[in-house]
Chains A and B, each alone.
Chain A
Amino acid sequence: MANVKFDNITVRYGSNTVLDNFSLEVESGKIVCLVGPSGCGKTTLVRALLGLNKPETGTITVGDRILFDAKKRINVPAEKRNIGIVFQDYAVWPHMTVVENVSYPLKKQRRPKEEIRERAMRALEQVHMTEYANHLPNQLSGGQQQRVAIARALVVDSDVLVMDEPITNLDAKLREEMLLEIRMIQKRLNATILYITHDQQSALQLCDKMAIMQLDGTLCQYGTDEEIILHPANRFTFEFIGVSNFIPVVKNGNSVALDCGEMIPYADAIPKEVENGGFELGVRPNDIVFDPASPLKAKVDSRVFLGSEYNYFLSLGKKQIRVQQSMLDARTKGVAEEGETIGIRFLNTRFYPAQKGGATA
């Protein structure tokens, strides 16, 4: 029920700068997913919020409470920050039973015994672990331990709940269930949840807003999931969320061509600045449609049925591109056969300055 504000946070490990003047504001009562590749500084940011590391610069506030301020030399110790956390490796204490684990935060708040018991059991109920209350963690599976960790984070009414990849060790079905559960818990408590993941799929399912972090530790986009999918701020976001094809765009005489090992003329409308080449065309596999009338021809290398869609690899010139065809489209227009040459059209194209080395997806 409080917003979280990172302002100009810098964290260094030795000479390695992980976060450089990082700023982000998480609105109160929202689930915000912090998404980024492994090693981009997500966990470092969270540790700064929890008080487990000490930034060199900046401030961190939760609601109107300053947790950290480098200039004013304020650094509230971890135990006084009132933030719930579900660690990536559960961090369930192996020498305590499940209920002892969950009761611990309440014990540290010196609550009456009956209240501790009652609230701990309620938290266990929320994660469907009541029957395991008196088990030791080593008698539980990884998924069950993770749920104990979630219960432990829920048991106190924290201002903010941080979840660091909390469901990676669950199987697909349980993962789905836990995501729904987290959503419901958030609704009920109206808590602010900062959810960290490198898995964009669960991020999309869960969050109100997404913060995309780049490998160098900078925030490259913050917005709703629709905004991020439909209007990626830059090439990194575009590439990171979802699958993408990249094809170099070059100037070939007076016209524009796609450089696919051979020059393939490209007649569709393009922004003015792209006309001189030096760009790459980015397009998602589900934004490529089969159109017999299109002058752009590609050969079908392979086709795989994935249940709700078909996945194709096509050769465009000497370049392989990926295409997804929805079931609806396949039913109405039919599928392409392997070996067939077929016309394709790019929808929702984007153009980014060409990268050195020409890395393409």
Chain B
Amino acid sequence: MKQYGGVSAELAAVDGHKRLNMDKVMTVVCFILLLIIVVIPIVMIIYNAFFNEGKLEVDMFVQQISEKKNLEAMWNTLKIAVFATILGTIMGVFYAWLLGRSDIPAKGLMRALFNIPYMFPPFLGAMAWDMMFNGRSGYINKWLVSIFHLKSMPININSVWGIVFVEVSYYFPFVFMQVVSALERMDPTLEESARIAGAKQGQVILKITLPLVKPAISAGALLILTTSLAHFGVPSILGYAKGIYTLPTRIYAVIYNSGGSFDGIRQGAALSVMLVVVVALALVLQNKILSSGSYDIIKGKSMRPTLIKLRGAKIPLFLLAILTLVLIVIVPLVMIVLISFLKAYGLPLTFKNFTFAQYQKVFSANGTIAAIRNSLFVSITAGIICMFLGTLVAYVVQKIRPRGKGVLEVISMLPYAIPGTVLSIGVILAWSGRIAGINLYNTIWIILVAYLARYLSFSMKTSSAALLQVHSSLEEAARVCGASHTESLADVTLPLIRPAMVSGFFLIFLPAMREVTTSILLYGPYTRTLGVQIYSLRDAGMIPQAAALATVAIGIIIILNTIVTKLTKDRKGV
């Protein structure tokens, strides 16, 4: 009273209106940024697929979607995605149950190891499998032929099934991680009551446990499905040589073959519309099959679930799990490292053929160093910008709740369901000089813009979840205690969601570091990313050098991941 008594009501009133304006400014900024980053590229795709020079022109679109090659690609895309989802889900649930609820030995270690396939870039895995089981020159294939005197190569990884296999290997962790955490948070009394009511162990798993974790399974399966539909790396590495196309690789081929001409990009846009329709259909279908409300039985606090004794099956199942890990992590890794030491691809893997020359080339070539620098730059920049922008959008949606917040939420989540390839085309169409003369094509900025659109939803999701935990009374209490609106944000809200923002950053930074799908269509002569550089080295036949760079990339990813785990463990338990 004493210190504020003199403040004239009018002055205070001005301040009072300023507060409202700040909320408004944040809302408007959100809308404008999302318009630029997300809406414009998407609108450009649709516009260019159906219009040419301002006139409606459906011929091109009709011709594209009725072309046999494209229909085949669509069919392959669907086939691969569906099988990868089904098999990946089965595998993920099985191992989640094994590690989450059985008394399998060395559980902590196994948990950590089973997260590795998630970090492993699938296209590097595909590269390794191609080295081993290529239908013509795979090392293991050749070895098998010579040992067993076979007439032809026994395994051909360059097939639809090969692609499915590799995708399952690296995508099953999506389901695994979701389900394992659901299983661990599940109230054990639910299962115990079923046992008491007379159900056998097997019945409990089928009738109680599985239905209860169904939402988690469903969420993980959806991730596999959308990721596989949009995936470029694996099908392009394994399928290209044999003429097996999926829609994303087909889009790339169309644009690549046309030399980046506008017509090629327009055809790509038409195919993109097709791909988006496929993704949308898949989402609807998945919703129909797996739709289920989330149950409230999964408690936030951790409990110790009863572990199921495997008895005699313990050792065989343990070995199976180890074998799986060896097969999908160790073997490809060893293969890549071995090849990286080869003088030339195709030489036998003997010591006299080994050399460090590839690494020398990698570290002396300007292109590779630039690629690492480019990847670091775009990933860190995209991570930081998305971290703040995502938090801003989340804040507006969760706390300010303006009119049209639903629209805001949908727009920011949209790129999540839109394949990276499609997004790239939208970005090319939007930012190559056709809007306000802004031409970012062939610069690093166009990759950055695409990453922003692609990854914004990641940081928005984590910040949103964190903001939901921050009850509005915490901020209000700060206001009443004498903090201005800005101060209350700085003193209360931001510190509380900082851990989420940091993990949002890494959620973007880590995948962006090894990204190929988006940047493959956007790179220019001087703006190759790490993923693109590995891809092009391999494409140019310099497989050992590609392997050397891949080894370096995997090293970087492992180091970064270790740092992240350390950082996130040390943070204050808020």
Chain A neighbourhood of B9, CB < 8 A: 65-66, 69, 72, 74, 76
Smallest CB–CB gap between B481 and chain A, Å?
4
> Cβ of B477 and Cβ of A93 under 8 Å apart?
yes
Interface of chain A residues 86 through 100 with chain B (CB within 8 A) = 87-89, 91, 93-95
B3 and A83 form a contact (CB under 8 A):
no
**B473 & A89 in contact (Cβ 8 Å cutoff):** yes
Which of A80, A81, A91, A138 is within 8 Å of B474, CB to CB? A91
B13 with A76: CB separation less than 8 A:
yes
Q: A65, A69, A95, A104 — which one has the most chain B CB atoms within 10 A of its CB? A: A95
Residue in contact with A94 in the complex, picked from B19, B478, B496, CB distance below 8 Å? B496
The answer, yes or no, to whether B406 is at the interface (CB within 8 Å) is no
Q: Which residues of chain B are within 8 angstroms of A156 by Cβ–Cβ distance?
A: 481-482
B2 to chain A: closest residue by CB: A157
Beta-carbon contact of A80 and B7 below 8 Å: yes
Chain A nearest CB from B485 CB (Å) reads 8
Q: Quick check: A76 and B473 within 8 Å, CB to CB?
A: no
How would residues 51 to 79 of chain A score, 1 for a CB under 8 Å from any chain B CB and 0 otherwise?
11000000000010110010011111111
A213 within 8 A of B: no
The complex places the Cα of A241 from the Cα of B94 at a distance, in Å, of 60
Name the one of A65, A88, A91, A104 contacting B491, with C-beta atoms under 8 angstroms.
A104
| Chain A: minimal CB distance from B483 (Å) | 5
Query: Would you call A85 an interface residue if the criterion is a C-beta within 8 Å of the partner chain's C-beta atoms?
Result: yes
Q: Is the CB of A108 within 8 A of B481?
A: yes
User: Which of B5, B479, B495 has the most chain A CB within a 10 Å cutoff?
Assistant: B479
- Flag whether B311 is at the interface (Cβ < 8 A): no
Q: Which of A81, A91, A105, A158 has the most CB of B within 10 A?
A: A91
Given A80-B12, A91-B473, A91-B477, are A109 and B482 also a contact pair (CB < 8 Å)?
Answer: yes
Nearest CB on A from B21, distance (A): 12
Q: Is B57 an interface residue (CB 8 A)?
A: no
Interface flag for B574 (CB, 8 Å): yes
Question: Which of chain A's residues have a CB closer than 8 A to the CB of B574?
Answer: 94-95, 138
Judge if A147 is at the interface, Cβ distance under 8 Å.
no
B402 at interface (Cβ–Cβ under 8 A)? no
Tell me the count of chain B residues lying within 8 A, CB to CB, of chain A: 35
Tell me which residues across on chain A come within 8 A of B483, comparing CB atoms.
79, 104, 108
Q: Are B473 and A74 in contact (CB under 8 A)?
A: no
Q: A1-B1, A76-B12, A80-B4 are in contact. Are A93 and B482 (CB under 8 A)?
A: no
Q: Indicate whether A79 sits within 8 Å of B13 (C-beta atoms), given known contacts A87-B473, A95-B496, A159-B1.
A: no
Kindly state the separation between the CA atoms of A51 and B13 in the bound complex, as whole angstroms.
11
Size bracket, chain A contacts = 35 or more
Chief secondary structure at chain B's binding surface: helix
Asked if B487 is at the interface (CB within 8 A of a chain A CB), the reply is yes
Q: How far is the CB of B99 from chain A (nearest CB, A)?
A: 29
Complex CA gap A221/B12 in Å reads: 34
* A250 at interface, CB cutoff 8 A: no
Verify B1–A2 contact, CB threshold 8 A: yes
Query: Given A93-B474, A94-B574, A109-B3, are A80 and B481 also a contact pair (CB < 8 Å)?
Result: no
Q: Is the CB of A75 within 8 A of B17?
A: yes
B572 smallest CB distance to A (angstroms): 7
Assess the A85–B477 pair: CB atoms within 8 A.
yes
Q: CB within 8 Å of A: which of B483-517? A: 483-485, 487-488, 491-492, 495-496
Complex: A187 Cα to B456 Cα, angstroms: 55
A98 CA to B497 CA, complexed, in Å: 19
A82 within 8 A of B: yes
Q: Which residue of A lies closest to B480 (CB)?
A: A85
Judge whether A30 is part of the interface by a CB distance below 8 angstroms.
no
Are B16 and A76 closer than 8 Å at their CB atoms? yes
A89 neighbours in B (Cβ, 8 Å): 471, 473
Cα A94 to Cα B17 in complex, Å, equals: 30
A50 within 8 A of B: yes
| Cross-chain contact of A80 among B15, B478, B492, B495 (Cβ < 8 A) | B15
Which residues of chain A have C-beta atoms less than 8 A from B13's C-beta?
73-76
On whether A79 and B480 interact (CB within 8 A), knowing A94-B574, A138-B573, the answer reads: yes
Complex CA distance for A301 and B492, rounded to whole angstroms? 58
The docked-state distance in angstroms from the alpha carbon of A50 to that of B488 is: 15
List 12 interface pairs A-B (beta carbons < 8 Å), by A numbering: A65-B5, A72-B9, A75-B16, A79-B480, A82-B482, A89-B473, A91-B476, A93-B478, A93-B492, A104-B483, A108-B483, A152-B477
The 6 closest A-B pairs by CB, nearest first: A108-B482, A78-B479, A91-B477, A105-B481, A75-B16, A91-B473
Beyond the given pairs A51-B480, A75-B13, 20 more chain A to chain B contacts, judged by CB atoms under 8 angstroms and listed by A's residue number, are: A2-B1, A50-B480, A52-B479, A52-B480, A65-B9, A76-B16, A77-B19, A77-B479, A79-B480, A79-B481, A80-B482, A82-B482, A84-B480, A87-B477, A91-B477, A94-B574, A95-B496, A104-B483, A108-B483, A158-B1
